[in-house]
Amino acid sequence: MLCDTLEKINRKIEHATERSGRTRDSVRLVAVSKRQSMEKIGQAVSCGQVLFGENYLQEAQEKITGDKNRLCWHFIGHLQSNKAGLAAKLFDVIETVDRIKIARLLDKHAGQCGKKMEILLQVNIGREKQKHGVLPEHTEALLRAVLQETKCKVCGLMTMPPWSVHPEDSRTYFRKLRLLSEQLADKGLFASQDKIELSMGMSADYTVAIEEGATLVRVGTALFGKRD
Ligand SMILES: *Cc1c(COP(=O)(O)O)cnc(C)c1O
Protein backbone atom coordinates (compact mmCIF):
# COMPACT_ATOMS: atom_id res chain seq x y z
CA MET A 1 0.00 0.00 0.00
CA LEU A 2 2.49 2.58 1.16
CA CYS A 3 4.98 1.35 -1.43
CA ASP A 4 2.41 1.93 -4.17
CA THR A 5 1.74 5.44 -2.92
CA LEU A 6 5.44 6.20 -2.67
CA GLU A 7 5.95 4.91 -6.18
CA LYS A 8 3.10 7.12 -7.48
CA ILE A 9 4.59 10.18 -5.81
CA ASN A 10 8.02 9.40 -7.23
CA ARG A 11 6.49 9.04 -10.66
CA LYS A 12 4.77 12.42 -10.32
CA ILE A 13 8.08 13.92 -9.26
CA GLU A 14 9.73 12.38 -12.30
CA HIS A 15 7.07 13.74 -14.65
CA ALA A 16 7.30 17.22 -13.13
CA THR A 17 11.08 17.23 -13.61
CA GLU A 18 10.67 16.07 -17.22
CA ARG A 19 8.11 18.81 -17.91
CA SER A 20 10.53 21.41 -16.64
CA GLY A 21 13.65 20.05 -18.32
CA ARG A 22 15.27 18.93 -15.09
CA THR A 23 16.85 15.64 -14.10
CA ARG A 24 15.08 13.31 -11.67
CA ASP A 25 17.99 13.44 -9.24
CA SER A 26 17.69 17.24 -8.92
CA VAL A 27 14.70 16.72 -6.61
CA ARG A 28 14.60 14.82 -3.33
CA LEU A 29 11.46 13.74 -1.53
CA VAL A 30 11.33 14.58 2.17
CA ALA A 31 8.79 12.17 3.69
CA VAL A 32 7.15 14.25 6.42
CA SER A 33 6.60 11.76 9.21
CA LYS A 34 5.37 14.05 11.99
CA ARG A 35 2.56 12.41 13.98
CA GLN A 36 2.99 9.24 11.94
CA SER A 37 3.84 5.91 13.55
CA MET A 38 7.20 4.17 13.51
CA GLU A 39 5.44 1.35 11.72
CA LYS A 40 4.58 3.59 8.78
CA ILE A 41 8.08 5.03 8.73
CA GLY A 42 9.41 1.47 8.68
CA GLN A 43 7.18 0.65 5.71
CA ALA A 44 8.47 3.69 3.82
CA VAL A 45 12.04 2.65 4.59
CA SER A 46 11.40 -0.84 3.30
CA CYS A 47 10.22 0.73 0.02
CA GLY A 48 13.45 2.66 -0.29
CA GLN A 49 12.71 6.03 1.34
CA VAL A 50 15.64 7.35 3.40
CA LEU A 51 14.93 11.06 3.91
CA PHE A 52 12.39 12.12 6.54
CA GLY A 53 11.13 15.42 7.93
CA GLU A 54 9.98 16.03 11.49
CA ASN A 55 8.43 19.08 13.20
CA TYR A 56 8.40 18.30 16.90
CA LEU A 57 11.63 17.73 18.77
CA GLN A 58 10.38 15.44 21.50
CA GLU A 59 8.62 13.18 19.04
CA ALA A 60 11.60 13.25 16.69
CA GLN A 61 14.00 12.38 19.49
CA GLU A 62 12.28 9.04 20.08
CA LYS A 63 12.20 8.24 16.38
CA ILE A 64 15.77 9.29 15.62
CA THR A 65 17.45 7.74 18.65
CA GLY A 66 15.63 4.49 17.78
CA ASP A 67 16.71 4.71 14.13
CA LYS A 68 18.94 1.77 13.32
CA ASN A 69 18.84 2.38 9.58
CA ARG A 70 20.90 5.59 9.69
CA LEU A 71 18.22 7.50 7.85
CA CYS A 72 18.53 11.16 6.96
CA TRP A 73 16.45 13.54 9.10
CA HIS A 74 15.49 17.15 8.33
CA PHE A 75 13.98 19.41 10.96
CA ILE A 76 11.12 21.39 9.42
CA GLY A 77 9.32 22.78 12.49
CA HIS A 78 9.74 26.00 14.40
CA LEU A 79 12.87 25.92 16.54
CA GLN A 80 13.02 27.53 19.98
CA SER A 81 16.43 28.63 21.18
CA ASN A 82 16.35 26.39 24.27
CA LYS A 83 15.95 23.36 21.98
CA ALA A 84 18.71 24.25 19.52
CA GLY A 85 21.25 21.97 21.19
CA LEU A 86 19.04 18.92 20.90
CA ALA A 87 18.10 19.76 17.32
CA ALA A 88 21.78 20.13 16.33
CA LYS A 89 22.54 16.74 17.81
CA LEU A 90 19.61 14.89 16.24
CA PHE A 91 19.22 16.32 12.76
CA ASP A 92 21.27 16.29 9.58
CA VAL A 93 19.73 19.51 8.28
CA ILE A 94 17.72 22.26 9.99
CA GLU A 95 15.45 23.78 7.35
CA THR A 96 13.86 26.51 9.46
CA VAL A 97 16.55 28.96 10.60
CA ASP A 98 15.08 32.47 10.56
CA ARG A 99 17.23 34.41 13.02
CA ILE A 100 20.91 34.75 13.80
CA LYS A 101 20.50 33.66 17.40
CA ILE A 102 19.34 30.19 16.32
CA ALA A 103 22.20 29.87 13.83
CA ARG A 104 24.73 30.77 16.54
CA LEU A 105 23.30 28.19 18.94
CA LEU A 106 23.14 25.45 16.29
CA ASP A 107 26.73 26.22 15.33
CA LYS A 108 27.93 26.02 18.91
CA HIS A 109 26.20 22.72 19.65
CA ALA A 110 27.04 21.13 16.28
CA GLY A 111 30.67 22.02 16.88
CA GLN A 112 30.54 20.16 20.18
CA CYS A 113 29.23 17.12 18.29
CA GLY A 114 32.11 17.49 15.85
CA LYS A 115 29.95 18.44 12.92
CA LYS A 116 29.25 21.45 10.76
CA MET A 117 25.54 22.25 10.85
CA GLU A 118 23.79 22.28 7.51
CA ILE A 119 20.91 24.71 7.45
CA LEU A 120 18.35 26.35 5.19
CA LEU A 121 16.96 29.80 5.85
CA GLN A 122 13.18 29.85 6.19
CA VAL A 123 11.75 32.77 4.24
CA ASN A 124 8.28 34.22 4.91
CA ILE A 125 7.73 34.72 1.22
CA GLY A 126 4.04 35.62 1.58
CA ARG A 127 4.80 38.18 4.32
CA GLU A 128 2.19 36.61 6.60
CA LYS A 129 1.95 37.95 10.15
CA GLN A 130 1.26 34.53 11.66
CA LYS A 131 4.13 32.74 9.88
CA HIS A 132 7.71 32.27 10.93
CA GLY A 133 10.55 33.00 8.57
CA VAL A 134 12.75 35.93 7.67
CA LEU A 135 11.21 38.52 5.34
CA PRO A 136 12.56 38.40 1.76
CA GLU A 137 14.28 41.80 2.05
CA HIS A 138 16.06 40.73 5.25
CA THR A 139 17.28 37.40 3.94
CA GLU A 140 20.59 38.64 2.53
CA ALA A 141 21.49 40.36 5.80
CA LEU A 142 20.70 37.20 7.77
CA LEU A 143 22.71 35.08 5.34
CA ARG A 144 25.70 37.41 5.63
CA ALA A 145 25.47 37.38 9.42
CA VAL A 146 25.39 33.57 9.48
CA LEU A 147 28.44 33.48 7.20
CA GLN A 148 30.32 35.97 9.33
CA GLU A 149 29.46 34.67 12.77
CA THR A 150 29.13 30.89 12.37
CA LYS A 151 30.51 27.87 10.55
CA CYS A 152 27.01 26.73 9.54
CA LYS A 153 26.69 25.65 5.93
CA VAL A 154 23.79 27.56 4.41
CA CYS A 155 22.64 25.18 1.68
CA GLY A 156 19.63 27.16 0.47
CA LEU A 157 16.16 28.47 1.30
CA MET A 158 12.88 27.00 2.51
CA THR A 159 9.36 28.39 2.46
CA MET A 160 5.69 27.72 3.12
CA PRO A 161 3.48 29.86 0.90
CA PRO A 162 0.12 31.24 2.07
CA TRP A 163 -2.45 28.48 2.38
CA SER A 164 -4.85 28.05 -0.51
CA VAL A 165 -7.19 25.38 -1.84
CA HIS A 166 -5.70 25.93 -5.30
CA PRO A 167 -2.16 24.55 -5.75
CA GLU A 168 -1.60 26.95 -8.64
CA ASP A 169 -1.88 29.87 -6.18
CA SER A 170 1.46 28.77 -4.71
CA ARG A 171 3.28 29.18 -8.01
CA THR A 172 4.04 32.92 -7.74
CA TYR A 173 5.44 32.39 -4.23
CA PHE A 174 7.61 29.47 -5.31
CA ARG A 175 8.89 31.59 -8.17
CA LYS A 176 9.66 34.46 -5.80
CA LEU A 177 11.71 32.16 -3.58
CA ARG A 178 13.65 30.86 -6.58
CA LEU A 179 14.39 34.38 -7.81
CA LEU A 180 15.54 35.38 -4.33
CA SER A 181 17.83 32.34 -4.16
CA GLU A 182 19.26 33.21 -7.58
CA GLN A 183 20.04 36.75 -6.44
CA LEU A 184 21.85 35.43 -3.37
CA ALA A 185 23.61 32.74 -5.40
CA ASP A 186 24.88 35.39 -7.84
CA LYS A 187 26.57 37.05 -4.88
CA GLY A 188 28.20 33.74 -3.95
CA LEU A 189 26.59 33.62 -0.51
CA PHE A 190 25.62 29.94 -0.32
CA ALA A 191 27.85 27.11 0.88
CA SER A 192 27.92 25.53 -2.56
CA GLN A 193 27.88 27.42 -5.85
CA ASP A 194 26.35 24.69 -7.98
CA LYS A 195 23.86 22.95 -5.69
CA ILE A 196 21.52 25.36 -3.97
CA GLU A 197 18.60 23.80 -2.14
CA LEU A 198 15.06 25.13 -2.49
CA SER A 199 12.73 23.40 -0.05
CA MET A 200 9.19 24.16 -1.18
CA GLY A 201 6.02 22.29 -1.98
CA MET A 202 3.91 19.96 0.18
CA SER A 203 1.27 17.28 -0.51
CA ALA A 204 -1.03 19.57 -2.48
CA ASP A 205 1.44 21.57 -4.54
CA TYR A 206 4.75 19.71 -4.83
CA THR A 207 4.53 19.28 -8.59
CA VAL A 208 4.01 23.04 -9.00
CA ALA A 209 7.01 23.60 -6.72
CA ILE A 210 9.18 21.31 -8.86
CA GLU A 211 8.17 23.21 -11.99
CA GLU A 212 9.39 26.35 -10.21
CA GLY A 213 12.71 24.85 -9.15
CA ALA A 214 12.19 22.97 -5.86
CA THR A 215 15.05 20.61 -4.96
CA LEU A 216 13.37 19.33 -1.79
CA VAL A 217 9.63 18.65 -1.61
CA ARG A 218 8.09 17.98 1.80
CA VAL A 219 5.24 15.50 1.47
CA GLY A 220 3.32 14.17 4.47
CA THR A 221 -0.35 13.24 4.14
CA ALA A 222 -0.17 12.37 0.43
CA LEU A 223 2.30 9.63 1.39
CA PHE A 224 1.29 8.50 4.87
CA GLY A 225 -2.38 9.46 5.01
CA LYS A 226 -4.02 11.55 7.74
CA ARG A 227 -1.88 12.32 10.77
CA ASP A 228 -2.76 10.97 14.26
C1 LIG B 1 3.47 19.17 8.01
C2 LIG B 1 4.38 19.87 7.08
C3 LIG B 1 4.55 19.44 5.76
C4 LIG B 1 3.76 18.30 5.15
O5 LIG B 1 2.45 18.70 4.93
P6 LIG B 1 1.46 17.76 4.08
O7 LIG B 1 0.38 18.71 3.65
O8 LIG B 1 0.97 16.71 5.02
O9 LIG B 1 2.21 17.22 2.95
C10 LIG B 1 5.48 20.09 4.98
N11 LIG B 1 6.21 21.12 5.46
C12 LIG B 1 6.07 21.57 6.71
C13 LIG B 1 6.91 22.71 7.18
C14 LIG B 1 5.15 20.97 7.57
O15 LIG B 1 5.01 21.44 8.81
Q: Give tens-digit pLDDT for 187-205.
A: 999 999 889 999 999 999 9
Q: Give tens-digit pLDDT for 90-123.
A: 999 999 999 999 999 999 999 999 999 999 999 9
Nearest residue to 12 via CA among 156, 163, 209, 221? 209
Q: How far is the CA of 80 from the centre of ligand 1 (A)?
A: 19
Q: How far is the CA of 7 from the centre of ligand 1 (A)?
A: 19
Contact 197, 157 (CB under 8 A): yes
Task: Output the CA torsion 81→83→86→88 (10° steps).
Answer: -30
The pTM score is 0.97
Atom of ligand 1 nearest to the CA of 158: 13
Q: Is 55 in the pocket of ligand 1 (CB under 6 A)?
A: yes
Name which residue sits closest to atom 7 of ligand 1, judged by CA: 203
Which of 29, 198, 218, 227 should be mutated for ligand 1, with most atoms under 8 A from CB?
Answer: 218
**How far is residue 164's CA from residue 62's CA, in Å, rounded to a whole number?**
33
Atom of ligand 1 nearest to the CA of 219: 9
Q: Give tens-digit pLDDT for 23-47.
A: 999 999 999 999 999 999 999 999 9
Q: DSSP states of 83-135 as a string?
A: GHHHHHHH-SEEEEE-SHHHHHHHHHHHHHTT-PPEEEEEE-TT--TT--SB-
Residue 33 has a pLDDT of 97
Q: How far is the CA of 2 from the centre of ligand 1 (A)?
A: 18
Residue 14: is its pLDDT beyond 90? yes
- The model's confidence at residue 55, banded by pLDDT at 50, 70 and 90, is very high
Q: Is 178 in the pocket of ligand 1 (CB under 6 A)?
A: no
Residue 223 has a pLDDT of 98
Hey, what domains does the chain have and what are their CATH numbers?
Answer: 2-17+31-224 (3.20.20.10)
Residue 201 has a pLDDT of 98
Residue 1: is its pLDDT beyond 90? no
Contact 117, 110 (CB under 8 A): yes
Mean per-residue pLDDT over the chain, rounded: 97
**How far is residue 139's CA from residue 118's CA, in Å, rounded to a whole number?**
17
**How far is residue 12's CA from residue 16's CA, in Å, rounded to a whole number?**
6
161 phi, psi to nearest 5 deg: -70, 165
